[in-house]
Structure 1
Amino acid sequence: MDMPEPPFTEFYGAHFQRIAVQLYAYLGDHAEAQDLAQEAFCRALQQWPRISRYDDPSAWVRRVAWNLATSRLRRLQTALGFLARQREQHVEGPGPDRVALVAALGTLPANQRRALVLHHLAELGVAEIARQEGVAEGTVRSWLARGRAKLAAQLTPEVWHA
């Protein structure tokens, strides 16, 4: 003779809070604990005719909830490990020489500064810079010469080794 299954709502009301509190203590996140407890009870509801006949249906729900919590923590640890590996490495700030050079470049007219940066940092030739800027090659050579002269006047050995 089969015993009638107890109503799920009574079971839920009697055990939800206790399981959610246990998960909260384990996870340290109240909302997450409630979500996982809710998920475990949803899974129990889907199989309630079978689970309700267990000696202790709450043990089944508790086990499912704890398994969900453990899985969530593992996924979180995996995600955090991935993010940690993706972060850029910290590098020291610019040294005084770089600060002096950037400051000196900032005093140059824009065309001279662009020509110097493209030629010395981007390693573009005079012809490439002339094409990019839409000027004659002689103009680029003039910008480079004037820019270098102004930098040389500003970047004396005292500035470089201050």
Structure 2
Amino acid sequence: MNTPVPDSAERDFERFYAESVRRMIVVVYAVTGDIAEAEDAVQEAYARAWPRWSELAEQGDPTPWVRTVALRLAVSSWRRARNRLKAHFRHGPPADVPGLDPDHVALVAALRHLTPEQRRAVVLHHLADLPVEEVARQTGSTSTAVRSRLMRARRILNSHLSDPAASEPPARARSQAVAPYRPRQEAYPHE
């Protein structure tokens, strides 16, 4: 089943890996929200692609195959990690990864508010630049379902990514809205 791979195929695989691994990690990270899980899933997907490289290369672009395997591995990892995550939350949120752009962190945090189906649709359509029809094919959905997920996801993301300063009421109105009720003593000075 696994035949030896010629040197030219090895160079092709190395080139494919070098050109696509970073983007693949970004896509899986956007779905999982965990950079370590994303890197592990992507590495394993490439490791699984290597023995069947000749077959994948003959079929055309191997990117969808590797992405699908990486996303499936990440989802399987989620299921195994449920209890581990609960333990992390009991001890407080994990520390931010140093060096990440605040916008990037905000996006990943906002993506966590989506259902897995919505998150997968957003990542594949907006980050992997796949058309809706291709997202539908890769996720086993209809184009209508993908469009619906994208529409709902955009609304959710918009509510979590909008500039809070722009939507806040002025300071005086905000302080009056949250100030507890206190009867005014000076309202009836003559009594």
Q: TM-score range by the shorter chain?
A: 0.3 to 0.5
Query: What is the TM-score of this pair, normalised by structure 1?
Result: 0.44
Pair member with larger Rg: 1
Query: What is the TM-score of this pair, normalised by structure 2?
Result: 0.38
